Amino acid sequence: MNELDSRDWILKSINAALKGKKLYPPGHPAAIAPVKKAYDTLTESLKNKNNLMIGLVNEALLFEEDPIENGERLYQDIIHYMSEKNVDVIIFEKGFTEKELSGIVDILAGETKYHGQELQSELHSKGIVHITLKTVPIGKKNILEIYNGAVDVVKNVMAEVRMGKIPKGGPVNNIINEITESVLADQNAVLGLTMIKNYDNYLFNHSVNVSVTAISLGRAMNLEKDELHALGVGALLHDIGKTGVSEQIIRKPSGLSSEEWEKIKEHPLLGSNIIKRMEGMDETVGRLILEHHIKYDYSGYPDTNARLHPLSQIITICDAYDALTTLRVYQKPYNPADAIKIMASMSGRHFNPDTLKSFINMMGIFPIGSMVRLSTNEIGVVIKIHSENSDSPVVKVLYDKEGKYTGSPFEVDLAERKDVSIASAVNPAMTNIDIGAFFEKECAE
Ligand SMILES: [Fe+2]
Ligand SMILES: [Fe+2]
């Protein structure tokens, strides 16, 4: 067989094997035959080289380095399953076995979705060592898409509740998986996006921001996977009960009548009741929503004597932080660094001291999005927190020593530059920078 023929045979039989996996039950001859054929042709080709690669670049199929003409038409299944599983390269090494190949087919064409490192663990547990699946890391652009996707999910769920429908749990669970993955891939970029505050659609961005921050904190606190998921969902939907309170009351700047205030206080219970009727929701989620306004000292609402769920305080803390750093009808936004100070002063009263400590450890005393003046008199925005050294962040300098806007912003890593430090927080209102838009742009580039 010449090289071109064997290339076509390899792709054709892998394509057929993936298709067969979907069409036939395991062990069916029509599912086994193409795997055998692919194994034989690949092994033959590997007689005179050590490895062989199938790649996917911008939806175009590559064999070794060569683009395959009409690949999108001839080998649809390969392209479909590689992109579905976020795989951009498959490498076959000399000595791989038929069993390994069949395992790869099962993984690629199977129902299971893998997140983060799960795909690599699956390969490992199946004993697949001679075939590599390389996945595309989540880029900043995808992170922005996921953030915006999450805003849409909240918007849809709330619209459905308002129309009297019971929303489906699927989209919520999926977006929480994606947010969790983004946090694992680049926590700093995701936390930067929580600086996007939408005055008109406050509730949607607020819900996503609380969820992103809660997942980051849950991860820093080493929660189990299931707990982290329930926490993310609970945080995303914590204010879903506000759909039962009129917009007029929610947006009222001040002076709520006691009747109106009673109405607002119903939203945690309303919310947890909505969750109970949604399919696919973990029991914990409703509980977290019910408890998100109960403070550590049991002030707040609703009144209860029951012990708080240990994860409730994570949402309470992240909720308070996002609320403080957002412009509201009744409040100017606080600089993140000031919000941290205010919250620290409420430790042991509003907030569980241990949970708050983990939160401040993670955010640093100058969290992402803080506008700061450096000891050099330059002004910039905190864009990255080192998890092991959260008080020496990376600052993007936007204004020079004279206070002039610099056309070419540059980064200063305070963990490396011992000669520079943060002198003080700066009120972002003193500058022309829209911090949310700034992080959006950082991600989009
Ligand atoms: Fe709330
Ligand atoms: Fe809230």
Give the Å distance between the CA of 238 and the centre of ligand 1: 6
Q: Which residue has the higher pLDDT, 218 or 306?
A: 218
Give the Å distance between the CA of 285 and the centre of ligand 2: 15
Residue 107 has what pLDDT? 95
Give the Å distance between the CA of 390 and the centre of ligand 2: 26
pLDDT of 6 strictly over 90:
no
pLDDT of 284 strictly over 80:
yes
Give the Å distance between the CA of 367 and the centre of ligand 2: 20
Give the Å distance between the CA of 45 and the centre of ligand 1: 62
The amino acid that residue 268 corresponds to is P
pLDDT band at 440 (very low <50, low <70, confident <90, very high): very high
Mean pLDDT taken over the chain? 92
- The CATH number assigned to the domain with range 140-363 reads 1.10.3210.10
Give the Å distance between the CA of 244 and the centre of ligand 1: 12
Which positions ≥6 away from 379 have C-beta within 8 Å?
371, 372, 373, 397, 398, 399, 403, 426, 431
pLDDT of 14 strictly over 70:
yes
Q: CA separation (Å) from 210 to 58, 97, 297?
A: 33, 47, 22
pLDDT of 70 strictly over 70:
yes
Give the Å distance between the CA of 279 and the centre of ligand 1: 22
pLDDT band at 4 (very low <50, low <70, confident <90, very high): low
User: Residue 267 is inside which H or E element, if any?
Assistant: helix 267-277
Q: Which residue has the higher pLDDT, 162 or 254?
A: 162
Give the Å distance between the CA of 46 and the centre of ligand 1: 61
Among residues 427, 230, 389, 256, the alpha carbon closest in space to that of 309 is found at 230
Each residue of 30-43: pLDDT tens digit?
Answer: 889 999 999 999 99
Neighbours of 64 (CB within 10 A): 13
Give the Å distance between the CA of 238 and the centre of ligand 2: 6
**Per-domain boundaries in the chain:** 3-135, 140-363, 371-431
Q: How far apart are CA 143 and CA 149, in angstroms?
A: 10
Give the Å distance between the CA of 207 and the centre of ligand 2: 7
Q: How far apart are CA 328 and CA 324, in angstroms?
A: 9
Collapsing DSSP to helix, strand or coil, 20 comes out as helix
Give the Å distance between the CA of 172 and the centre of ligand 1: 18
Each residue of 308-362: pLDDT tens digit?
Answer: 999 999 999 999 999 999 987 777 889 999 999 999 999 999 999 999 999 999 9
Q: Among all ligands shown, which has an atom nearest to the Cα of 289?
A: 1
pLDDT of 252 strictly over 80:
no
